[in-house]
Each structure stands twice: as structure tokens, then as C-alpha cells.
Structure 1
Amino acid sequence: MSNLQLRLLTAAAGLPLILAVAWIGGWTLALVLAGVGLLAAMEFVHGWLIPSMPIRQVLPQLPTFIIAPAVVAAAHVEPRWVLGGFVFAGLFGLLGYLPTNAIGPRKPYRVYCWCVLYLGILPATFVLVRDVEQGREWFFLGLLSTFAVDTGAYAVGRLIGRHKMAPKISPKKTWEGAAGGIIAGIAAVFALNSLFETGVAASTIWHFAIAVPPAAIIGDLVESWMKRRMGVKDASGLLPGHGGFMDRLDSLLFVFPVLYVFLELRVL
């Protein structure tokens, strides 16, 4: 199969499943997201520590990086349990950034620290958003508006993109594409807010609308930067034609925390 055929086949199989799980919510969503988080955490640890070896070689380190998906699942039990993720990240960070090797190599601890923050704390907000009042509507609003930013940026960048945004990180991204993503993202938030009848006024949803595009773009750039530092093209080959789970989560990992903070401060 060509790469395009693989992408389409994976999307055809995965997208309906994602939408169905998000529609159901509850423990179904929490456990599926924890499973995705586990695979993404494997990619993260593999990419930062042993990118030249098969990804299965990270399995002996499972007791450490399984904390990230555990934080995601715990968010459905009690939102305050997510704070436990910060505790573990702080402990790993303390061990990883101490100016001594008395406890062994420090880099693995630094990797575990950022793994918990990036793939535990951030995706936990997916569960937190889905669990609020009208959580289904807000979850799909966040999901679809992020897709709108990515699609708008890609389409405009392909058509008229000339000025590189961050050539050393992601050579194909342009300022014209970013502008297209910003316009598409803002328009999508307003349209979806009306379509889903959230009851939030335009004067309030505006705060989230202007925050979505930069959050999505930054998330994409952060993922690209990490892969550059890891020296890999894709996080893994676990999703045929799409790379890895980290490659698919990139923008969403930054949009959903913004959405959750917006809901807590302006809506709930």
C-alpha cells in the first residue's frame, strides 16, 4: 500500500472509534485514553532514551512511565487526583536535575518527569472536559476546532505559503498557513458553539476562540521540536501511515488544557 492508502485506512478504522468513545464518555473514554497514553508514553521514553532500538525495548521501564496513563484514568475518579501527577513529576525532576550521579544516570529521571507532565497531566484534561456539565458538547467543540486549525493551516500553507515560520523545527510550516489556521480555528469555535447550543454568549466564547489557534500551533511545533531532538521522523510506526500516537495528539494536548481552564474560569 502507498502511504496515502495506509493513512486513509487507519483513519477509516480509527476515527469512528474515537468519536464513539468520546460520545459514550465515562470510564470508557477514561480507559481508552489511558491506553492511548500508555502507548504514547512508550513512544516518548523510547524516543528520548533509546531511539535506535525497537520500541519494545522500553517495556522493562514500564513501572515508571505507566504513571502517565494512570494519571489520565485517575482524573475520572477525582479531578484532584491529577495533582498526584505533579508530585511524581516533581520527584522524578528532583532526581533528574540534582547535580550528582549518586543515584545513577540522571537523564532517565528527567525523561520520566516530562513524560508524566506531557502525557499524564495534559491528556488528563481530555477526561476532565468530558466529565463537566455538557461535557460531550465541549469535548467535540475542542476536538473539531483543533482539527479546523490544523486543516486551515495545511490548506492555506499549501496554496500560498511562502514565509517559513520555524524552518529549523518544522520546515513546511509557514506564517501564511498559521494565519489560515487562526481564521479557521476562530470561525470553527463560534460556529460549533452555536451548533452545539452550549448557552455561552459570543462575548464569552471569544476568549476561548482566540486561544485555540495559538495553542494548537504551539502544540504542533513542540511535537516537531521533540522529534528533531530525538532524531526521528515519526514518534513510532504504531499507527500505519500516521506515525505514532504522539504525532496525532500534538495540537490537542495544548488545546484541551486551555479549554478546561476556560470552562473553570468562565463557564462552570
Structure 2
Amino acid sequence: MKKRVISGCVLALLALALIWLDEPLPWLTAGVIFWGVMALREFNQVVGLTKAKPFAVIGTVGTVLFIISPHFDNGLEPLLAAFVAGSLLYLLKPGDRSQAFIRWAWTLAGVIYIGWLLSFIVALRGLDGGREWVFFALGVTAASDTFAYFIGRVFGKHKMAPSISPNKSWEGAVGGAVCAVIMALILKAVFDLPASYLELGLLGLAASAVGQAGDLVESLFKRNMAIKDSGNSIPGHGGFMDRMDSVVFAAVLVYYYVIIFIQ
């Protein structure tokens, strides 16, 4: 528990610095690239042990390109087309082609799950008032995850999805959702976000719901791969994949909320 708290505080301070600073380099983008490359490395190692070994170089290049794509106007569609076509052509290289397509499929899955979803954090930061909206997405998710974990440990009796994640409970989920709403209201007051308290309270509730669903998605992935954690790079928290599951789903939700209802 001590390691979990200490590493969580260090991660939070680092995230705050990367989100706040924007010059002379887009530091958040650089941090997300590092996060994505490390998460993809864990993904490739896990899949390679149980299924088929993804193409590491292609996957890394694709992940980085997806993460930086929000910096370029209308860059996603040509990027996706070029990546899919280029990676398929790569299968024609000399060598053992017996598992070529299954390896390609897992490579594409890793790039989409990690690279594309992480790119929404960068895209959110690039919107008007994006710094504050990223703080909102991460703050609400952190509150939801933290209190769902502790409330679930103390009061959890009714299992949410025992076949996927035996330790998650409805009591923890509700506690995390309530704390996410409280955090959303606090962040509204701190940053004076351009939406009502009711709207942001509901957005915080929705972000908690999709974040916890995203957590279950990664739990299902790990269960399919017969592992407990994606890695051990972050003391008390597992690997980089273990810390992106809920955040990216919440970031996608907040991004589309902002561009549809705010801008």
C-alpha cells in the first residue's frame, strides 16, 4: 500500500507538470508518447507469450504517429490508411509468413487500443481551454479510481463482474462515482469551466462509468492472457497499461463533450 501511495503521488505530480507546461515543447505529447511506447511494449510482451508476437517496430511507429496526429489538421484518416496499407505490405517481406496475418492483427489491435485512445489526451489538450479540460478528465478519473479501490476494499460485498475482475464491487463502483461527481464540481469551481455545475456533475458521473468500464475491458484482456498485471514498472500499480485503462476512456468522453457542447 505504501508503494502504491508514493508512486501514485509521483505520477500525479509528473502529470500536473506535463499538462501545465506547453513551451518550448509540447511536454504532454512527449509524456504521452513515452507512456504509449511503454504500454505497447507490455502489450506486445503479453500477447507474444500467449497468442502471436506482434510486429514491435511497426506497432511502435504507428503508436507514436497516432499520438502526435492531433497536432496536424485532418491527419487521422490518411494516417490510418497509410498505416494499415503499409503494415500489410510489410507482410510480404522474406521470411517465415506462417503467422503473418495473426501477428498483423495483434499489431493493429495494440496500435488502436493504445496509440489511438491515448491520442485523445493530446487532442483534448489542443482544444481551447484544453489544459483545464485535461485536468478535469484526469482529476475525475483519479478520484473515481482511488475511491472505488478503497471503498471497495472496505465495504465491497456485491461483486460487479466476478468472471472478469473478482475484486471489483458495486459498492466500490458507486463510491467511485460519487467521488468523481464531487471532484467534477470542485474542478468546475477551481477552473471556472464553461458549463453548469449540473452538466459537469453529470459529465463526472459519466466519466466514472466509462472509466470503470474501461478498467473492466483491460481486466478482460488480462484474464484472456492469463496474467494479473500487464507489467511491474510502476510500484504498487502494475504496468503502464494498468494505468491507462480508465483514463483514455474518460478522455474520449470529455473530448467529444467539449467539441459537441462547448466549442
User: Which of 178, 182, 189 is matched with 2:184 structurally?
Assistant: 189
Match of 1:149 in 2: 144
Distance in structure 2 (CA, Å) of the matches to 1:115 and 1:231: 17
Whichever residue aligns with residue 18 of structure 1, its letter is: A
1: distance between equivalents of 2:141 and 2:9?
19
Tell whether 2:5 aligns with 1:11: no
Runs of at least 5 residues in structure 2 that lack an aligned partner in the other structure? 90-95
Asked if 1:32 corresponds to 2:31, the answer is yes
Give the alignment of 1:16-95 within 5 angstroms.
16-25=13-22, 27-50=26-49, 61-75=56-70, 77-84=71-78, 86-87=80-81, 91=85
Gaps spanning 5+ residues in structure 1: where? 96-101
* 1:259 matched residue in structure 2: 254
Q: Contact between 1:92 and 1:113, CA under 8 Å: does it hold in 2? A: no
**What is the number of residues matched between the two proteins?**
253
Give the equivalent residue in structure 1 for 2:214. Answer: 219
1:170–1:92: structure 2 CA closer, same or farther, 3 Å change rule? farther
Query: In the alignment, which residue of structure 2 is the partner of 1:98?
Result: none
- Residues 64, 117 of structure 1: CA spacing in aligned structure 2 closer, same or farther, 3 A cutoff? closer
Aligned to 1:208: 203
Deviates more, 1:102-111 or 1:144-153: 102-111
Q: Distance in 1 between matches of 2:122 and 2:178?
A: 27
* Residue equivalent to 1:117: 112
In structure 2, give the amino acid aligned to 1:65. T
Paired amino acid for 2:187: L
1:203, CA displacement in angstroms? 4.6
Give secondary structure in 1 for the equivalent of 2:26. helix
Question: Structure 1 residues 202, 90: closer, same or farther in 2, change over 3 A?
Answer: farther
> Normalised by the size of structure 1, how large is the TM-score?
0.84
Displacement after TM superposition at 1:85 (Å): 5.0
1:109-146: CA deviations, max 9, x gaps?
12112112111111101011111111111111111100
Report the Cα distance in structure 2 between the residues aligned to 1:144 and 1:13, rounded to whole angstroms: 15
- Of residues 132, 138, 141, the one that matches 2:133 is 138
For residue 99 of structure 1, what is the aligned residue in structure 2?
A: none
1:21 partner amino acid: L
Equivalent pair of 1:65/1:112 in contact (CA under 8 Å): no
Secondary structure at the residue paired with 1:172?
Answer: strand
1:166 aligned residue (161, 165, 176): 161
Structure 2 partner of 1:235: 230
Distance in 2 of aligned mates of 1:241 and 1:210: 26
Is the alpha carbon distance of 1:210 and 1:85 closer, same or farther for their aligned partners in structure 2, counting shifts above 3 Å?
farther
Identity %: 30
Q: Is the 8 A contact 1:204 1:266 kept in 2?
A: no
Q: Provide closer, same or farther for how the CA distance between residues 84 and 184 of structure 1 changes in structure 2, counting only shifts above 3 A.
A: farther
Kept in 2: contact 1:215–1:254 (CA 8 A): yes
Taking a change above 3 Å as real, the CA distance of residues 156 and 15 of structure 1, as seen in their structure-2 partners, is: closer
Conserved 8 A contact 2:58-2:87: no
Report the RMSD for the aligned CA atoms in angstroms. 2.6
Question: Match of 1:244?
Answer: 239
* Contact residue 216 and residue 255 of structure 1 kept, 8 A: yes
Structure 1 segments (4+ residues) deviating >6 Å: 92-95
